[in-house]
A and B are shown apart, each in its own frame.
Chain A
Amino acid sequence: MNITLNGNTKSFQEISTISDLLHSLELSPGTVVVELNTTIIQPDFYSSTTLAESDQVEIIRFVGGG
């Protein structure tokens, strides 16, 4: 599946949901903000929101410290 991730076209094998994508990117779900086609997705829906070909995904990831 090809999606646009943070402005870049990327190809992912065997991912279906946002949870799958985060796992593939080795990102901890609690530390990110996910926007799918300009809608903010609440974390409770990461495992139930499926991705489609050409979806536009923005992921902002935070590191600790402050």
Chain B
Amino acid sequence: MIVRFLTIQPFLHIATQAETYLEPGMILLNEQEYPFTPGQTIGELAAACKPAADIFILNGFPAQSGTLIQDGDSCSLIERGAKLTDNEIDALLSARHTPGIHQQIRTSTIAILGLGGLGSAVAGAMAKIGIGKMLLSDYDVVEPSNLNRQHYFVDQIGMLKTSALQENLLRMNPSLSLQLIEEQLTESRLPELFSKVDVLIECFDTPVMKAATLRSVLSKMVDVAYVGSSGMAGFGENNTIVTRMLRPGVYIVGDAISEAAPGMGLMAPRVGIAAHHQANQALRILLGEAPKRN
């Protein structure tokens, strides 16, 4: 991956995301390299390559069809409401993340235990980056009191969380592979169901199942990396939510003390901090940035 530095006197412009190095005479068309034709407008390009496109984006900004394309430009031709194929999603993620990282993510398997405030948010983050396979486990249904933090919608009240979340995730990324588990989990079932995943993300509500999961991971699932959770209720400080390593491949996210209780309920912002700690820690494990189990 080569990042271009453009110096425009007197300002220094620094490229802030992964950019493809383009040879002269090439443009980017929907993240793929494509030959540049001098004098071509973006509307003409669309007519040639994607006639159904009705939204044109040129170098990050919406453009009219008569806008001339320049050498090295980046064009997105979008058909409003069109479905993305698995290949298109693959190409988008590969361009955004770089091919090597995309490959590691899409060949990984994770389990998310509990699909509430933490689990639904973790699942969304992992779905968006194109995780290969997710095992999603929860026996419960969507209730109105969940909606202050959980990633469900009013019209999903009464649905099983597994079904509702599957619906939501597939709308974000139709190419996902999901396995839904709807039984109420017990400690003995954990190794039977989750021994083969790369990372197990514990998003339970009850401390009993949280403890059971860590115990099971340490004593019976020696190859599975674990990211657990403890303490994220209320609206206390952001920076007391931390990711702590217990040993290689075993991490706990939270502030360790903020228990959900009357007067200190779970709320989307702070639960979301914890959830995204979990998601990023899982990603770091998968990419070899954080130690796996010994």
Contacting residue for A63 out of B116, B119, B203, B230, CB 8 A: B230
* Known pairs A30-B207, A33-B214, A60-B246; A65 contacts B258 (CB<8 A): yes
* Known pairs A33-B218, A40-B218, A40-B219; A63 contacts B231 (CB<8 A): yes
Interface of B toward A, CB cutoff 8 Å? 114, 116-119, 203-208, 210-211, 214-215, 218-219, 228-233, 246, 252, 254, 256-260, 266, 271, 274
Q: Is the pair B256, A64 in contact by a Cβ cutoff of 8 Å? A: no
* Known pairs A30-B207, A30-B208, A31-B208; A62 contacts B230 (CB<8 A): yes
When distances are taken between beta carbons in the complex, the residues of chain A under 8 Å from B228 are: 62
Q: Is the pair B257, A65 in contact by a Cβ cutoff of 8 Å? A: no
Interface of A toward B, CB cutoff 8 Å? 28, 30-33, 35, 40, 42, 60-66
* Known pairs A32-B211, A33-B214, A40-B215; A64 contacts B257 (CB<8 A): no
Contacting residue for B260 out of A40, A60, A64, CB 8 A: A64
Q: Is the pair B219, A65 in contact by a Cβ cutoff of 8 Å? A: no
In the complex, 17 of the A-B residue pairs with CB atoms within 8 angstroms, ordered by the A residue number, are A28-B207, A30-B208, A31-B211, A33-B215, A33-B218, A35-B218, A60-B252, A62-B230, A63-B231, A64-B260, A65-B205, A65-B258, A65-B259, A65-B260, A66-B119, A66-B205, A66-B210
| A61, chain B: closest CB distance, angstroms | 8
Q: A40-B219, A60-B214 provided; 14 other pairs, C-beta below 8 A?
A: A30-B207, A30-B211, A33-B218, A40-B218, A61-B230, A62-B210, A62-B214, A62-B228, A63-B257, A64-B206, A65-B260, A66-B117, A66-B229, A66-B232
Q: Is the pair A63, B214 in contact by a Cβ cutoff of 8 Å? A: no
- Docked Cα-Cα span, A65 to B265, in Å, equals 9
Query: Nearest 6 A-B pairs (CB), nearest first?
Result: A65-B260, A63-B259, A31-B207, A62-B210, A62-B207, A66-B118
Q: Is the pair A66, B271 in contact by a Cβ cutoff of 8 Å? A: yes
Q: Is the pair B211, A65 in contact by a Cβ cutoff of 8 Å? A: no
When distances are taken between beta carbons in the complex, the residues of chain B under 8 Å from A65 are: 117, 205, 231-233, 258-260, 266, 271
* Known pairs A33-B215, A33-B218, A40-B219; A63 contacts B207 (CB<8 A): yes
| B24, chain A: closest CB distance, angstroms | 53
Nearest opposing residue in chain A for B203, CB measure: A66
- Docked Cα-Cα span, A13 to B153, in Å, equals 54
- Docked Cα-Cα span, A28 to B117, in Å, equals 24
When distances are taken between beta carbons in the complex, the residues of chain B under 8 Å from A61 are: 207, 211, 230, 256
When distances are taken between beta carbons in the complex, the residues of chain B under 8 Å from A28 are: 207
Q: Which of A31, A33, A65 has the most CB of B within 10 A?
A: A65
| B218, chain A: closest CB distance, angstroms | 5
- Docked Cα-Cα span, A62 to B274, in Å, equals 14
| A32, chain B: closest CB distance, angstroms | 6
- Docked Cα-Cα span, A48 to B241, in Å, equals 36
- Docked Cα-Cα span, A42 to B260, in Å, equals 26
When distances are taken between beta carbons in the complex, the residues of chain A under 8 Å from B232 are: 65-66
- Docked Cα-Cα span, A33 to B218, in Å, equals 10
Nearest opposing residue in chain B for A63, CB measure: B259
Contacting residue for A33 out of B116, B211, B258, CB 8 A: B211
